Amino acid sequence: MALDLFMSLLALFFAYLIRFDLRAEEELIREEWEILSKSIGVYIGVKFLIFYLFKIHKGLVRHTSTEDMRRIVSATFLSSVVFALLGVLRAKFYDGFYLIPTSVLLIEFLASTALLLGMRFAIKLLYMESMKNKDVNDRVVIYGAGISGLITKRTMEKDQTVARKLVGFIDDNKKLAGNRLEGVNIFHSSNLEKLIREEGITLLIIAIQNPDNEKRKKVVELCLEHNIEVQKVPSTKSWINGEFSTKQIAKIKIDDLLGRKAIDLDEEKIGKELKGQVILVTGAAGSIGSGMVRQIANYAPEKLILLDQAESPLYDVQNELYAEFPDLNFEVVIGDIRSFDRMKNLFQTFKPRYVFHAAAYKHVPMMENNPSEAVLTNVLGTRNLVDLANETGVYKFVMVSTDKAVNPTNVMGASKRIAEIYAQNANRKGTTKFITTRFGNVLGSNGSVIPLFQRQIDQGGPITVTDERVTRFFMTIPEACQLVLEAGTMGEGGEIFVFDMGESVKIMDLAKKMIQLSGLELGKDIQIKVTGLRPGEKLYEELLSKDENTLPTHHPQILKAKTREEDAAQIERIDSLVDLFNAQDNLAIVTQMKKIVPEFISNNSLFEKLDKR
């Protein structure tokens, strides 16, 4: 308070100097002091009272903010108003002189405000500089010169425990290049390599909330090439009161490199089909099934039925729906699609109009060792659902299949192809429209390669890759679920829709990038071990067999596969396959599968001998 009053007196002195053009005569000064001396006590008293009422002395100076500025400006303005009113009273009722001349009063208001604010910000800056770690560990570039980038800069500056120097911003907007943001230069993203070379950049922080995937990928690839660490700002959902801490700035994940341009969906058509409908999702606790549930919940169905036999994961999905969709009418059903009676009860009770069938066994090596279980779930389970859908008049039945069903080299892929055949054949038997969707590996799904690699990295390695030549197609869970919905609404029955998976990714390259993104060095911090192909595993995945070709649809990322016609004898063979379960004869089961799917040629499997007969 004493310092604030001293600054105010200094402002008053400065105002008088300005009034007299800094060169007043001694006699004039004496006259002015004669007038002012009678009111200086009032000046100090008014200032003290108003400053105290506005509590401008309560703010922590090192954390001065716009709220403190507002209070100070309000206090000095009110003080000037009070001085003006008291001046009028003095002139009229006391000695004919104003408390403070009007010109001095105006100058004093501006000078007092400037000094009070300036003092606080000067102390704040000195404090921040004194707390800074002088040893700079990272030279940083922020990708994105928008609001998020600005907040990132301020967050970095607040955290004095982190030894980082901000070299500049980069942005894809050419109009911003050459400008400054709070004194920091903005460069076009095409100049990143030059910045890395000339400024010794060690860290890039992605501060764009919804970046263009291709541009982001290009920037990250360049950083990895030069061994630059890449981090990203958290989603705004995790910000608290519009802010985040530097501890929330995390390393970029491999998903951010493999993700592609957002898919443009026909939201209106999807909403029109699904709104107000009873919808069943099988495998609702799995990666794709739970993703489907989240997508469908946005379209306000009349009732959403979640079916799965995995109790604990289904419980987690249920709690998530309670939190995120409090108005959603949904039912959780524990059940096994292999039980016809249980499924019949479900269909008769809820009478679903749409069925999205995502329940399946999917792990290739495990199904190679357990063919009877692959048939029981993927074939019999699908047959149960397909038959009941036709029997109860389901409008559309959308089956989630896999690229491993194409020219299958393993039991799992063959079982899914047989399920496709059965669903396609059923399309000709009733009013239900049966639609199949095929896609490749899904990023982050249960049991997929990326979570496996991440666990191995966390454990110090080694990372296990089956073969240096192995490639796979990848798609994000939301992307896959959106395309299933789009295909399901556009389908008229009997189609197999194939999704554009983009370019295949070499698994060895994927492992190397994940090592780099983790801040480790291959060969020094962690090793990659080649273990050899697992039973039934392919080197390269396909989305179409050699007997199929595609037709375009209204969506550029969805194609329609033209498949061969399957005769009625195939259904008899499928029924015979299911009957073989009781015998538990793996060779007999796989032999029958190969009769149904002639292109099923086993690879790296004990069932290869069946192909040599």
Instruction: Sort strands 164-171 and 138-143 into parallel, antiparallel or unpaired.
Output: parallel
SS (H, E, C) 482-518: HHHHHHHHHCCCCCEEEECCCCCEEHHHHHHHHHHHC
What is the enclosing helix (H) or strand (E) of 349? helix 340-350
202 contacts: CB under 8 Å, gap ≥ 6: 137, 138, 139, 140, 228, 229
Residues 143 and 102 in one domain: no
Domain boundary among the residues 107, 131, 155 is at 131
Structure confidence at residue 513 (pLDDT): 83
Q: Are 328 and 255 in contact (CB under 8 A)?
A: no
Structure confidence at residue 514 (pLDDT): 83
The answer as to whether 515 is a domain residue is: no
Q: Is the pLDDT of residue 390 over 90?
A: yes
Residues 286 and 397 in one domain: yes
Residues 278 and 236 in one domain: no
Q: Which residues pair with 187 in a beta bridge?
A: 170
The answer as to whether 258 is a domain residue is: no
**Residue 101 lies in domain:** 2-131
Return the closest-CA partner of residue 343 out of 311, 378, 314, 308.
308
Structure confidence at residue 261 (pLDDT): 60
Average of per-residue pLDDT values in the chain: 83
The answer as to whether 185 is a domain residue is: yes
Distance between CA atoms of 18 and 172, rounded to whole angstroms?
Answer: 49
Could you count the other beta carbons within 10 Å of the beta carbon of residue 195?
19
The answer as to whether 613 is a domain residue is: no
* pTM check: above 0.75: no
CA 565 to chain centre: 42
Percent of the chain surpassing pLDDT 90: 25
Q: Are 500 and 557 in contact (CB under 8 A)?
A: yes
Q: Indicate the DSSP class of residue 604.
A: S
Residues 401 and 430 in one domain: yes
CA distances from 24 to 18, 99, 371, 478 (A): 10, 20, 105, 77
Domain boundary among the residues 97, 131, 165 is at 131
Structure confidence at residue 520 (pLDDT): 80
Return the closest-CA partner of residue 289 out of 332, 259, 254.
332
Percent of the chain surpassing pLDDT 70: 86
The dihedral region occupied by 524, where left means phi > 0, alpha psi between -120 and 50, and beta the remainder, is alpha
609 annotated active-site = no
Mean per-residue pLDDT, 379-394: 94
Pick from 141-145, 375-379, 572-576, 580-584: least confident: 580-584
Residues 279 and 389 in one domain: yes
Q: Express each pLDDT in 431-473 by its tens digit.
A: 999 999 887 776 666 667 777 888 888 888 788 988 888 887 7
The answer as to whether 524 is a domain residue is: no
Residues 357 and 388 in one domain: yes
CA angle 429, 434, 438 (to 5 degrees): 140
Q: Are 190 and 162 in contact (CB under 8 A)?
A: no
Domain boundary among the residues 131, 150, 166 is at 131
Q: Is the pLDDT of residue 507 over 80?
A: yes
Distance between CA atoms of 412 and 242, rounded to whole angstroms?
Answer: 48
Residues 485 and 584 in one domain: yes
Domains identified in the chain, total number: 3
pLDDT higher at 379 or 131: 379
Residues 436 and 331 in one domain: yes
Q: Express each pLDDT in 255-308 by its tens digit.
A: 666 665 656 667 788 888 899 999 999 999 988 899 999 999 999 999 999 999
One-letter identity of residue 422: Y
Return the closest-CA partner of residue 353 out of 431, 427, 416.
431
Residues 189 and 121 in one domain: no
Residues 153 and 108 in one domain: no
Q: Express each pLDDT in 342-380 by its tens digit.
A: 999 999 999 999 999 999 998 888 999 999 999 999 999
- What CATH number has the domain bearing residue 286? 3.40.50.720
567 contacts: CB under 8 Å, gap ≥ 6: none
Distance between CA atoms of 503 and 258, rounded to whole angstroms?
Answer: 10
Residues 421 and 563 in one domain: yes
Distance between CA atoms of 215 and 173, rounded to whole angstroms?
Answer: 12
The answer as to whether 537 is a domain residue is: no
Q: Are 139 and 165 in contact (CB under 8 A)?
A: yes
The answer as to whether 391 is a domain residue is: yes
One-letter identity of residue 127: Y
Could you count the other beta carbons within 10 Å of the beta carbon of residue 531?
10
The answer as to whether 36 is a domain residue is: yes
What is the b/e burial string over 591-609, where b = at least 16 CB atoms within 10 angstroms of the residue's CB? ebbbebbeebbbbbbebee
Residues 144 and 185 in one domain: yes
Q: Which of 404, 433, 513, 538 is catalytic?
A: 404
